[in-house]
Amino acid sequence: MKKLKQLLSSLLAVVMLMTAAPVAFAAENGTGFSDVSADAWYADAVQYVVEHGVMNGTSATTFSPDEIVTRAMLTTILYRIAGSPAVTGTDTFSDTATDAYYTDAVVWANANGIVSGYSNGLFGTNDPVSRQQIAAILWRYAGSPSADAGQDFTDEGTIAAYAATAVDWARAGGIMNGSTGNLFDPDGNTTRAQTAAILHNYMTMEKNNHPTTGKGGNTLVVYYSATGSTEAVAKTISETLNADLFELVPAVPYTSADLDWTIDGSRVNMEHENPSQRAVELTKATVNDWDSYDTVFIGYPIWWGIAAWPVDSFIAANDFSGKTVIPFCTSVSSGLGQSGQLLAEAAEAGDWMEGHRFSSGASASEVQEWVADLNLMANESAK
C-alpha cells in the first residue's frame, strides 16, 4: 500500500509538471513574454526596450504587443529615456490626474515643448497615438532636426503639415518606414509592438553610434548646434575637407523656450546662473574609431562669452592627446573670446589652434576660405 501511494504521488507530480510546462515554456519563449514569439518581427525591439528600462511588460509574462499606445503612455516612455529628471510645478490640463503614473512626464514634456496639449485645454491622456503623432513627438524630443524631403510616401498628401518634416526625418533615419504600397498611414494607431520597434530604431540609429562617414578618415567635425547656424558651418567644413561629422545631441534637447535668455528662469538662464547644472548629458559623448582621427574641428554657439556647455561634456569624455584641435563658433555679435582656450584647458591635451568666429548667417564661401587658409592639406602631406 505504501509503494502504491508513492507511485500515485509520483504520477500526480508528473501530471502537474506537464500541465505547468506549456505556460512556463510560453513565458520564456526566448523573449521572456508568452505573447512575444522569438521569431516575431518586433521580438528584438521588445527585448531591447525592456532591457533598457524604456518599456515594461503589462504583466510578469505578457507584453501585449497589439495594445494601442496612448499619449500618456508615450510621454511616460520618453520621460524614462530622458532619465526621469526632476520636475517642478503642475500642468493646467483638465484631463490629467495628480500623482498618476504619467504626472511628472506630462509636466516635463509640456515644459520642454515635446508633447503639448490641445487647444481646448485637454492633454488627451487616453487618446491613441497616431503614426504621424509619434513621428512628430520623437522629432521634437530629438531637438527638431532639419531633414531632407527624400522619397515621398504614396499617401504623402494626407500627412499633416505639423508632422511633414518629422516624417521625413524619421524615414531618413530609418526610424519609421512605410507599409505595403509605400503607405505611411499617418492616422493609423500605434501599437506597443510598433512603438518598441520605433524606439529601438531611434535609440540605435547610426547617427547616435557613428559619425557620418565621409572620405576623410583622419579629420572629424564635431559640433553642437542650438538653432542650426553652427550645423550649417560644420557641414560646409565637412564637405570642403571630405571629413566625418559628429553631432552632439543633448539627452534632453533644448527647446526654443529653453534657449530664450530674455526669459527669467529659462533653462539656459538657470544653467548659466548655476554652473553645477551645466553638466549636460549627451545621447552619445564618445566617437567610434576616435583614435583614427588626427584633426578634430569643434563647433559651438557662444553662450555668455564661452562655448555652449553641451560641448564641455564631449571634452570631458575624450582624450585629445596627439590631435590637432580647431575650434570654431557662431554668434550674432559675440566674438570667439577665450572659449577655445578654456576648452583646451579643460581637455588638458592636444595641439589646439586659434579658432574662428562666424556670424549666424555665414556664407559657404566664407567658411571655405577660412578652411583653405588653414592649409590642412599641405600639413597632412608633410606628415
How many residues does the structure list for the chain?
Answer: 383
Q: What is the pLDDT of residue 84?
A: 84
Lowest-confidence pick of 47-56, 173-182, 232-241: 173-182
Predicted TM-score of the model (pTM): 0.50
- What is the three-class DSSP state of 38? coil
Domain ranges of the chain: 40-207, 211-382
Q: What is the pLDDT of residue 30?
A: 62
Query: Cell 497589439, residue?
Result: 66
HSE value, Cβ hemisphere, 13 Å, CA-based, for 276? 0
Highest mean pLDDT (candidates 206-220, 257-271, 304-318): 304-318
Average of per-residue pLDDT across 338-361: 90
- Per-residue model confidence as pLDDT tens digits over 150-185: 778 888 999 999 999 999 998 888 899 887 778 899
- Residue 379 pLDDT class (50, 70, 90 cuts): very low
User: Do the beta carbons of residue 297 and residue 246 sit within 8 Å?
Assistant: no
Q: What is the pLDDT of residue 214?
A: 38
Cell numbers at residue 13, please? 507530480
Q: What is the largest CA-CA distance in the chain?
A: 101
Facing residues of 282 across strands? Answer: 250
- Of the two residues 37 and 9, the one the predictor is more confident about is 37
Q: What is the pLDDT of residue 233?
A: 92
Of 130, 155, 135, 157, residue with least CA distance to 147: 135
Q: How far apart are CA 151 and CA 148, in angstroms?
A: 9
Fold (CATH) for 211-382: Rossmann fold (3.40.50)
